[in-house]
Amino acid sequence: MRTHTKLSIAALTLAVLAGCSSTGPEQPAAPTEDKSPTAPTGPTVSPVTPPSVDGKKMTAEEALLAQLKDPNSPLSKRIIYFDYDSYVIKDSYASLISAHAKFLTANPKFKMLIQGNTDERGSREYNLALGQKRAEAVKRALMLLGVQEGQLESVSLGEEKPRMVGSDEASYAENRRSEMLYSGEF
Amino acid sequence: MIKLFRLMAVALLFAAQFAHAQLTVEITGAGANRIPIAIANFAGEGLLPQALVGVVRADLERSGLFKLVDPGPTPVHQDAAVDLNQWKDRGADALALASILPVPGGRYEVRMRLYDIARQGKPDGMIFVFAPATVRETGHRIADFIYEKMTGERGVFNTQIAYVVKKGSRFELTIDDADGQNPRIALRSADPIISPTWSPDGTRLAYVSFEAKKPIIYVHSLTSTSRSVVANFKGSNSAPAWAPDGKRLAIVLTKDGSSQIYTINADGSGLTRVAGSSSIDTEPQFSPDGQYIYFTSDRGGSPQIYRVPASGGNAERITFEGSYNVTPRLSPDGKTLAYVSRNGGRFQITAMDLATRQTQILTDSSRDESPSFAPNGRMILYASEIGGRGVLSAVSADGRVKQKLSGQAGGDVREPAWGPFNKP
């Protein structure tokens, strides 16, 4: 788990430094093993916890990345859930959206991919369109708060990538979502 | 060495036979007036590498329009003198007899005679010459012949269907005979494949694949197994539908934000916007005459079916009942619209007579999707769910005949598309 996080951060760092966009089917998936010689060795990898805890010095970039992962930061929360058949963002997500908007406006080098998803009920193609609306809703909300369009990309995965597999309301609710991913996380 | 090679060939044959799960067809409803038909065992069938008469009988019975009368175990030669009254006493309104002979070139000839006992006329006859590898296809052609003679409409036994099977986390785009007994995998992928649809000439499939981590539309040639990208614009590329001329496709793109309908040439050139709104517009489908594009839109507040002239213009709303009507599919004669409606939380295949705008819910299950008309318009193939697993079912356009096509082995079957009369 720890290794996994480390590697993800290493990948994220590389992606951000490279000014990576979302193109290319060769995007590295989240590494699942650390034995691979091609995995980033990450000498600059930082701990997940803030620098004060373990005393090491971090670059500004690394501190930002750590912030995105810090479970105590709202930025670590990336999912916005929707009501059935709806692409209206509920008021309760206002502070979460604004935290991400602040981060993105303060760090214009960072890019975000917003993936819209639906539950499995109904037409696959309609759900693909509905997922797009859910992703677009988040994109628009971020833009209203000053985020540049060039930092944001919205895509839909429709009902094809459920977080929870099951035909019950708990699964459906978990799957009606938009996920916000930063460069290197997708 | 040769022996080893032979053994390997046999092993491969076996592998090919058992690699794919076949779909078995179960009839759960049938037409009110089924034609009782006796199909005697074919004379000379023992010469064939595979059973033939069984294919014919299964096809006709599955249609729900025929009832098989027990012909007894004895093969009857096609030109044998028959006492039709005797067959009538057994309850048969029709009698089919056939003989098989080897012909030069390692092929076979089947001659068939069909007696319409009720009409007492001259028997109809036909002759097919076929290769040993096409026994099943020949069976479907014989069944089509009988079907057309007895019902007056063209049969669809010798057509193909496409569907997607999800096995674990893998996806297989599969081509199969309409009876689900001859599956061949056209594409394997670790990512979802949706919305396969046949070109009017039956040689190509358009579909949406997520293999590049986002939906992109491909056209896949079934004759050359080559494929090309039709649409890979920013955002999602989905919902391909062929124009009747087979040259253009209606597609859905989100390159400008929400889902909008365009047309594009099959080679990816000539992109033209058809309908634009800030709402969801998706699932385009040409009317058979090419005049209209039917589509799903939530512009009125809930997903409903609309149509717009294919050349552009104002959209006209078609469905009004209920709050969820999606996936419009036109019958081949353009008179009936099949779609999915949500009724009290159940998703069901529904038909609308476009002249009267009367609707009828055709299915009594609750998770039905992806309706697809048979090329003769008689049956509608669709995806359903039993015990949490995707299965294919079919219902007649009048709701009377119901069939289940259920896979024998594991795997979720979904996204069916019935091919045209034309085969590659």
Inform me whether the C-beta atom of residue A125 falls under 8 Å from chain B C-beta atoms: yes
Cα B409 from Cα B112, distance rounded (Å): 36
Q: Do A132 and B342 touch (CB under 8 A)?
A: no
What does the longest C-alpha to C-alpha distance in chain B come to? Answer: 72
Q: Can you list the residues of chain B whose pLDDT is less than 50?
A: 1-20, 408
Rg of chain B over CA atoms, in angstroms?
Answer: 23
Q: Which two tokens stand for residue B124?
A: 């109809």
Q: Which residue has 């916890």 as its token pair?
A: A49
Distance to chain A for B291, nearest Cα, Å: 23
CA B160 to mean position of chain CA atoms:
6
Spatial separation of the C-alpha atoms in residues B21 and B375, rounded to whole Å: 25
Q: Are B254 and A122 inside 8 Å of each other by CB?
A: no
Whether the CB of B363 is below 8 Å from some CB of chain A: the reply is no
Residues of chain A with pLDDT under 50: 1-53
Q: Quick check: helix, strand or coil at residue B61?
A: helix
Q: How far is A123 from chain B (nearest CA, A)?
A: 6
- Token readout for B152 is 């007056």
Q: List, as own/partner pairs, every contact residues B221-228 make where C-beta atoms lie below 8 angstroms and the sequence separation is at least 24, other chains included.
A: B222/B175, B222/B186, B222/B424, B223/B424, B225/B186, B227/B187, B228/B267, B228/B268
Closest by CA position to B197, among listed B208, B188, B187, B189: B208
- Closest residue in B to A25 (Cα) is B212
Instruction: For chain B, positions 290-329, list CB contacts with chain A under 8 A.
Output: 296, 302-303, 324, 326-327
Among A71, A69, A91, residue whose Cα is nearest residue A82 = A91
| Cβ <8 Å between A123 and B370 | yes
pTM for this entry: 0.84
To the nearest 10°, the Cα dihedral for B66, B28, A125, B324? Answer: 110
What's the pLDDT score for residue B20? 46
**Residue A128 near chain B (CB below 8 Å):** yes
Question: Which B-chain residues 145-164 have CB contacts (< 8 A) with chain A?
Answer: none
What residues 49-88 of chain B have any CB closer than 8 A to a CB of chain A? none
Q: Which of B238, B324, B342 sits opposite A125 (nearest CB)?
A: B238
Nearest-CA distance B264 → chain A (Å): 18
Are the CB atoms for A39 and A31 separated by under 8 Å? yes
B214 contacts on A by Cβ (under 8 Å) = 155
CB pairs under 8 A between A and B: 90
Measure in Å the smallest separation between the Cα of B370 and chain A Cα atoms: 7
Beta-bridged to residue B365, according to DSSP, are none
Task: Report the residue from B236, B281, B370 with minimal CB separation from A156.
Answer: B236
Of A27, A133, A154, the CB nearest to B213: A27
pLDDT digits (tens, 9 = 90+) for A115-129: 999 999 999 999 999
Tell me if A156 and B254 make a contact (CB, 8 A cut-off).
yes
**Chain B partners within 8 Å of A85 (Cβ):** 302-303, 324
B355-372: pLDDT as tens digits: 999 999 999 999 999 999
Distance of residue B347 Cα from the nearest chain A Cα, in angstroms: 7
Cβ separation B195–A156 shorter than 8 A: no
Q: Which residues contact B345 (CB under 8 A, 6 or more apart)?
A: B366
Q: Which helix (H) or strand (E) holds B195?
A: strand B193-198
Q: What is the chain A residue with the closest CA to B328?
A: A123
Quote the CA–CA distance of B309 and B294 in Å, as a whole number. 9
Q: Shortest CB distance from A128 goes to which of B213, B236, B415?
A: B236
